Amino acid sequence: MTSAPGHETPAAGPITVINVFEVPAEQVGEFIARWRARAEIMAAAPGFRDTRLHRAVSPQARFQLVNVAHWDSQADLDAAQGSGAFQDRIRALRRPSAAVLRLPGHIRDRRHPHPIGRPG
């Protein structure tokens, strides 16, 4: 892929995945429990570094939960999400009646290619 000078898209390298969730107040506790189960599944995947779920300070905030995860590369994330075993386990955790809005985003910070605090 060709980009303007200074705006090249790297083919590989660490990425940060940010998912913002709009969850009804009465479902936050259940959502967090299911998020923990999904995080355990992801943690077993090659290329996974870490994840953390952040909760809004104000109960009036539209987006109560923000997930931030780090992966060695986009390819590692895609492989993890694309595996049949992963999809089966994630499907088993879904609750069809949950009213959750997810806004995903993947970013690569070219100034800081490695998350702060990454072991070794």
Q: What is the DSSP letter of 27?
A: G
pLDDT at 27: 85
What is the distance between the alpha carbons of residues 58 and 31, in angstroms, rounded to a whole number? 17
When mean pLDDT is compared across 2-16, 56-70, 78-92, the lowest value belongs to: 2-16
Please report, rounded to a whole number, the percentage of residues in the chain having pLDDT higher than 90. Answer: 28
Residue 85's pLDDT band (cuts 50, 70, 90): confident
Task: Answer yes or no: is pLDDT of 51 > 80.
Answer: yes
Residue 92's pLDDT is what? 72
